[in-house]
Amino acid sequence: MDTPRRTRTYRSHHLDSQRWDHVTLRPGDVVVSTSMKAGTTWMQRIMSLLVFGTGPLPAPLVALSPWIDAAFLGDVDGLVASIEAQQHQRFLKSHLPFDALPYDPAVRYVYVGRDTRDVFMSAFNHYSAYTEFTYSLLDAAGGAAGPMPRCPATERELWADWMTRSLFDWEADGWPFWSHLHHAATFWPHRDLPNVLMVHYTDLLADLEAQIRRVAAFTHIEVAEDAWPELVAAARFDAMKQDAIRNEESVRPLFFEGGARRFFYKGTNGRWRHVLTEEDLALYETAAAQIDPGLRSWLEADSAANA
């Protein structure tokens, strides 16, 4: 089996893969790497519950588990200093494909997959909530990519560009972000490595406890049996959303209109069926036909049990 390797450099309004050059990974670190709107924050919350339990967190989740490759956040030295000071089992966030992440066999990588069409629906809600403050940061970070395009008024106005254009020469879709399909395809060949875990968003919805137990076993975190009911309840999407609303981090309303209520939107699948037309879906068929059929089946499946 081939070892994952960094072969790409991603630089855009959102991503700067070279920020990882400043990070010294530790044995036992967990890197949560997903495409956008595929369950990133959900998996970070699961990790926070496994590491800290169901009580108050010692710091906001965005500080405990920072997005390392966020090009628009600046001050990578301050970010690295904050994670270097962490003594608990670290769990770091990334939106990079596996072809841009530093690989260490002593580090565990958790990937969360979701149907591309569901990702798009959540991504549009996310994108359409960007504030002018957010756009100012993205514009400044864009570099050669230029200013961040403003979100169209409707999903279908974005869909064709999202499915047929890319900011990166080696990707075919995902504009103006990155390719969800390529991201998944970089993890798929390595799914049997002992330090790689692939989790499906649909399975988180269907049997959350079973998936959290998978994550706990994978990360070697022991949970007392009588603690499981409270832990699982705290990890449910509605509980996570209400907790975020109650403890609204001061930065989120700056980035998203509606703050946590908008950021944690539906947490459901299938909304694309009522929005995208047959013509729209033909563009998806063309793009999805380019990836491994097994990966496509897994992403589209109701259950990820075969992964």
Residue 306, pLDDT > 50, answer no
Tens digits of residue pLDDT in 232-258: 999 987 777 666 555 545 455 677 665
**3-state secondary structure labels for all residues of 256-280:** ECCHHHHHCCCCCCCHHHHCCCHHH
For residue 304, name the pLDDT band (cuts at 50, 70, 90).
very low
Tens digits of residue pLDDT in 194-203: 999 999 999 9
- pLDDT at residue 264, rounded to an integer: 46
CA distance 32 to 13: 21
**What does pLDDT average to over the chain?**
90
Residue 156, pLDDT > 60, answer yes
- pLDDT at residue 269, rounded to an integer: 67
Contact by Cβ (8 Å): 176, 148 = yes
Tens digits of residue pLDDT in 180-230: 999 999 999 999 999 999 999 999 999 999 999 999 999 999 999 999 999
CA distance 199 to 196: 10
- pLDDT at residue 249, rounded to an integer: 52
Q: What is the mean pLDDT of residues 297-305?
A: 71
Tens digits of residue pLDDT in 24-65: 999 999 999 999 999 998 999 999 999 999 999 999 888 999
For residue 147, CA distances in Å to 29, 61, 123, 150, 171 come to 35, 29, 19, 9, 20
Q: What is the mean pLDDT of residues 154-183?
A: 96
Q: What is the dihedral of CA 5, 169, 39, 289, to 10 degrees?
A: -100
77, with CB counted inside 10 A (0-12, 13-18, 19+), is: exposed
Structure tokens at 26: 């530790």
Tens digits of residue pLDDT in 109-153: 999 999 999 999 999 998 999 999 999 999 999 988 899 999 999
Q: DSSP of the chain, one letter per residue?
A: -PPP------BSSSBBGGGGGG----TT-EEEEE-TTSSHHHHHHHHHHHHH-SS--SS-HHHHS-BTTBGGG--HHHHHHHHHT--SPPEEEE---GGGS---TTSEEEEEE--HHHHHHHHHHHHHTB-HHHHHHHHHH-GGG-SPPPPPSSHHHHHHHHHH--SSTT-SS-TTS--HHHHHHHHGGGTTSTTEEEEEHHHHHH-HHHHHHHHHHHHT----GGGHHHHHHHHSHHHHHHHHHHT--TTHHHHBTTHHHHHS----S-GGGGT--HHHHHHHHHHHTTS-HHHHHHHH-S--TT-
- pLDDT at residue 2, rounded to an integer: 83
